[in-house]
Amino acid sequence: MSQIMGQPVTEDADGPAKPLLGIEQLGKRFGGFVALDTVDLAVPQGQRLGLIGPNGSGKSTLVNCISGTLQNETGSVAFNGERVDGMPAHRRARLGLARSFQLPRPFRSMTVAENIRVPLIYTVGARAGFHLTSSELEDRCMEVLSLVALQDKAGKNPFDLTQVEMRKLELARAMAAEPKLLIADESMAGLSHSEVEDIVALLIRMNERGVTIIMIEHIMRAVMAFSQRLVVLVSGRKIADGAPADVIKDEDVVRAYLGT
């Protein structure tokens, strides 16, 4: 049985555990433009975190810096007690960090199933230290695909998928890596009501099995239903961080969304 849905959480006898993800004073510039400005964020193991903010606020840059797609310039990123800044993305993936891309980036020369095989081979297999056999690969592939209801499209090329299906594939590919921390970047754009509910339910199930999840979304319904904690990012700065019900009533947050 694979670990896609996470592992059972065991209580740490020493008391409150160190945060799974610890971001301190994170900074990132593009030339003269400051994309992230001294962001602090500590995410404990097992949390469901919602991250919201207007377009251009730096959410994707933050995700990129966490996953290693970009390297932060100042501050630090620690995962599972280990400093990961400077580490290339593939090493962070093997440590248990997975992310989906806001604009889906499937491997276009491969089928849907082959897309899922990549993290199975290069993250799960690499982590375990041995190669999964072809039948194991196939089983896990279909397992992941059925979680997002894409099993019938296994042999299709991403070119033949709808936008919605591509987003699901994107999420599935991240899930296939059996992460400890999953960052879902706008995975639900364009989905119907019931599809949104399905994905939220799926993510909550994963979380109940121990996967820490950061959800970046614009669909407030989903964010509120999912998040135990809400963080708001505006112009590269964290302006609010706390219980969702409180955060959405916060003055600064309201002003950021409604504008001045």
Calculate the alpha carbon distances from 27 to 13, 19, 123 in Å: 35, 20, 28
> Looking at 42, 78, 126, 164, which residue binds other proteins (CB under 8 A)?
126
CA distance 19 to 229: 14
User: Cβ–Cβ contacts within 10 Å for residue 9, how many?
Assistant: 14
Residue 69 makes contact with other proteins by CB under 8 A: yes
Site pattern 84..123 for other proteins (x: CB under 8 A): ----xxxx-xx---xx-x---xxxxxx---x--xxx-xxx
CB nearer other proteins, residue 61 or residue 123? 123
Minimum gap (Å) between residue 212 Cβ and other proteins: 17
Give the type of residue at 143: E
Q: Which of residues 15-34 bind other proteins (CB under 8 A)?
A: 31
# residues near other proteins by CB under 8 A? 32
CB nearer other proteins, residue 38 or residue 102? 102
For other proteins, which stretch binds (CB under 8 A), given 11-19, 44-52, 124-132, 145-153? 124-132
Residues 6+ apart with CB under 8 A from 30: none
Q: Which of residues 171-210 bind other proteins (CB under 8 A)?
A: 173-174, 177
Full DSSP string of 125-185: IHHHTSPPPHHHHHHHHHHHHHHTT-GGGTTS-GGGS-HHHHHHHHHHHHHHT--SEEEEE
CB nearer other proteins, residue 50 or residue 179? 179
Residue spans of beta strands (DSSP E) within the chain: 21-30, 33-43, 48-52, 74-79, 82-83, 97-99, 181-185, 212-216, 229-234, 237-242
Minimum gap (Å) between residue 56 Cβ and other proteins: 11
Name the residues that contact other proteins, by CB under 8 A. Answer: 31, 67-69, 88-91, 93-94, 98-99, 101, 105-110, 114, 117-119, 121-123, 125-126, 131, 173-174, 177
